[in-house]
């Protein structure tokens, strides 16, 4: 991970960036395939009315896949994108109306290979230089946008695990901002809290069936794009990417 400017950043974010090359995700997958689709998500931190927060979106209930699921803004790389940073910023602008000029990109975290959907995802860590009111950028894809306080994510009362009814997958989840955050996004948030030194002990024996939590048309964890045959996959840290679109860690600013 190549860091950007760290002047005046909060301590938790400094800790995250220092530990980013060894993000504490609990699973690894083999080297990603040469056909893996390059994707990126924006993990945008800021200082809100209730302290430090991170931006999440809730997918539209009308989508064919991932309907109603909370997520980081993000998606697949388009031709001409300055991948992964340009991809993450473009998607955040399209989905949540985030002005890229008000965002300071700090670094990228290790690539995450999501085998079932053949996606190679780069989390892009950023700080909101110019925080503003958030809103839905594309209502066809996004139902709502929320700045979720990190204190709420770390609160043991908001933490539990979910079990997917079809795959048997069990993974971390958060009940915050009226959403149940699970799968890829929850796994990444869990690792971020730990790396940032914000994690608190919570009851990992509290496992709840996913369908009872109001998830709409739940997709299997670890997928970003439509596939015909999904299998359970927890978030994973990939080996170095195969030949293909290069990964650029921090843009010139």
DSSP 8-state class, residue 176: E
pTM (2 decimals)? 0.79
Judge contact between 105 and 58, C-beta under 8 A.
Answer: no
Average pLDDT for the chain: 77
Judge contact between 170 and 161, C-beta under 8 A.
Answer: yes
Overall number of domains in the chain:
1
- pLDDT confidence of residue 137: 55
Beta-carbon contacts of 18 under 8 Å, excluding residues fewer than 6 positions away, are: none
pLDDT at residue 248 above 50? Answer: no
The C-alpha atoms of residue 18 and residue 13 are separated, in whole angstroms, by: 9
Beta bridge pairs of residue 147: 55
Q: Does 239 reside within a domain?
A: no
Percentage of the chain surpassing pLDDT 90?
42
Give the tens place of pLDDT for each residue, 72-110.
Answer: 998 899 998 999 999 999 999 988 888 999 999 999 998
Section 221-225 average pLDDT: 38
Question: 59-68, 179-188, 223-232: which has the highest mean pLDDT?
Answer: 179-188
The C-alpha atoms of residue 128 and residue 78 are separated, in whole angstroms, by: 24
* Helices of type H across 97-143: none
Helix (H, G, I), strand (E, B) or coil at 15: helix
Q: Does 177 reside within a domain?
A: yes
Q: Which two tokens stand for residue 54?
A: 């991170």
Section 161-185 average pLDDT: 89
Q: Does 178 reside within a domain?
A: yes
The answer to which of 9-13, 40-44, 207-211 has the lowest mean pLDDT is 207-211
Give the tens place of pLDDT for each residue, 15-59.
Answer: 999 998 888 775 555 677 788 888 999 999 999 889 999 999 887
Which H/E stretch holds residue 11? helix 11-19
**Residue 223: burial class (beta carbons within 10 Å; 0-12, 13-18, 19+):** buried
The C-alpha atoms of residue 234 and residue 48 are separated, in whole angstroms, by: 30
Q: Does 242 reside within a domain?
A: no
Q: Does 232 reside within a domain?
A: no
Q: Does 245 reside within a domain?
A: no
The answer to which of 9-13, 97-101, 164-168, 213-217 has the lowest mean pLDDT is 213-217
Beta bridge pairs of residue 163: 170, 209
Q: Does 5 reside within a domain?
A: no
If pLDDT is split at 50, 70 and 90, which confidence band does 232 have? very low
Alpha-carbon distance values, 18 to 12, 24, 47, 63, 139 (Å): 10, 12, 20, 37, 36
- Residue 251 or 51, more confident: 51
Section 117-138 average pLDDT: 80
Q: Does 227 reside within a domain?
A: no
Pick left, alpha or beta for residue 213 (phi over 0 → left; psi -120 to 50 → alpha; otherwise beta).
alpha
Helix (H, G, I), strand (E, B) or coil at 2: coil
Tell me which residue range forms the domain holding 76: 11-213
**CATH number of the domain residue 182 falls in:** 3.90.79.10
């Amino acid at each position: 991970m190549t860091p950007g400017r760290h002047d005046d950043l909060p301590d938790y974010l400094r800790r995250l960036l220092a530990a980013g090359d060894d993000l504490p995700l609990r699973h690894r997958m083999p080297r990603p395939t040469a056909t893996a689709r390059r994707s990126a998500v924006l993990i945008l931190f800021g200082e809100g009315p209730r302290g430090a927060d991170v931006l999440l979106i809730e997918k539209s209930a009308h989508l064919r896949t991932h309907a109603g699921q909370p997520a980081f803004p993000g998606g697949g790389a388009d031709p001409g994108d300055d991948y992964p940073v340009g991809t993450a910023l473009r998607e955040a602008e399209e989905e949540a109306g985030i002005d890229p000029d008000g965002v300071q990109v700090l670094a990228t975290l290790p690539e995450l290979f999501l085998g079932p959907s053949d996606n190679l995802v780069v989390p892009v860590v950023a700080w909101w230089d110019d925080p503003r009111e958030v809103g839905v950028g594309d209502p066809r894809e996004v139902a709502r946008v929320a700045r979720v306080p990190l204190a709420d994510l770390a609160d043991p009362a908001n933490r539990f695990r979910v079990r997917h009814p079809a795959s048997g997958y069990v993974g971390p989840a958060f009940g915050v901002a009226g959403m149940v955050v699970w799968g890829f996004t929850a796994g990444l948030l869990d690792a971020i809290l730990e790396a940032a030194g914000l994690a608190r002990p919570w009851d990992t024996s509290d496992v709840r069936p996913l369908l009872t939590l109001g998830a709409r048309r739940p997709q299997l964890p670890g997928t970003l794009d439509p596939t015909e045959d999904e299998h359970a996959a927890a978030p994973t840290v990939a080996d170095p990417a195969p030949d293909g679109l290069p990964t650029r860690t921090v843009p010139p600013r």
